[in-house]
Amino acid sequence: MGPSSNYVTCAGREIHFMEWGAQHRGTVIAWHGLARTGRDMDELAAHLAARYRVICPDTLGRGFSQWSPQPQSEYTLAFYAQLAADLFTQLGIAGAHWVGTSMGGAIGTVCAGGLVLPSMKARIRSLVLNDNAPRLAPAAVERIKQYAGNPPAFGTMAELEAFFRQVYKPYGWLSDAQWRRLTETSTRRLPDGRVTPHYDPAMVRQFIDHPNDYETWAHWDAIEVPVLCLRGAESDLVLPDAVEEMQRRGPGVRGKLRVVEVPGCGHAPALNVPDQLDLVAGFIDEAERAAQVAQRVPA
């Protein structure tokens, strides 16, 4: 069964998502990064769809999801977690494995910790953090703010694709077809006919209005499910000292954290090549088997 494009109202906002493998019961939520869309997860979703239902949302203010009429209060991890909770409820998802790239990983951390929404703690069965950590390098955050907060506009799609190839070079290897799809699935046309990245520039105010939003150690310390942390070997956002602290706290001290450095990538691995796809799928399969065993064992 091929993917379908869908819309649902969550926390009063229209959210777009792609759904793959709708016939399966086991579910994976694949959540994209800050200035991206759910279509970044196409390769991962296609890889998992033979045995999982895979939901790939566009975050509020990105892609085909509604832009927030209250950007100061809604472009926050807490509100994104509320959107996720409502998405679970609307789609009848009792529990799911969560794969999050960058911002998507931070949202998953907030959900899995259960401090903001206690009901979400039991709904997250495992967590994959794709180049995300409870502490981010300030210099890299500034770099992201500069390009994300001032999206350029170009006269042609070819120029926009060249821009994406430069900005997202740290993703690692992408085929020409993948670069073309990345461009076409994250582009909107302005009234003057030029093309620009498909997101609300106001979403970057999260870093200005809520400068400590991505300091998520309290949420990390509360996580009890298995976690796979993928770190781009050349990442400037997730530094080794942050990963070392992750290993000393929360799931790390509980023996539930696995860290893998992904060669040839910075921030963040594109999750589009066999080694990365098999690594994520194997982790999810193992967590799913463990969850099924736990459900069968009497309390």
For residue 293, the 8-state DSSP code is H
Q: What is the DSSP letter of 94?
A: S
Q: What is residue 297's predicted lDDT score, i.e. its pLDDT?
A: 54
Predicted pLDDT of residue 299: 46
Other CB atoms within 10 Å distance of the CB of residue 224: 15
pLDDT above 90 (res 1): no
- Mean pLDDT, the chain, rounded, equals 96
How far is it, in rounded angstroms, from Cα 188 to Cα 200?
Answer: 11
What residue ranges do the domains of the chain occupy? 4-136+214-290
Q: Where are the alpha helices (DSSP H) in the chain?
A: 42-48, 71-74, 77-90, 103-113, 118-121, 138-149, 157-167, 176-184, 206-209, 217-222, 240-248, 274-296
* Residues 76-105: tens digit of each pLDDT: 999 999 999 999 999 999 999 999 999 999
Token look-up 């506009």 returns: 153
Is residue 183's pLDDT more than 80? Answer: yes
Domain over 4-136+214-290 is classified CATH 3.30.9.10: no
- Is the distance from CB of 3 to CB of 18 less than 8 angstroms? yes
Q: Are 45 and 54 in contact (CB under 8 A)?
A: yes
Report the distance separating Cα 47 and Cα 95, nearest Å.
Answer: 20
Q: Model pTM? A: 0.97
Q: What is the pLDDT of residues 141-164, one digit of tens each?
A: 998 888 888 999 999 999 999 999
Exposed (0-12), middle (13-18) or buried (19+): which is 222, by Cβ within 10 Å?
A: middle
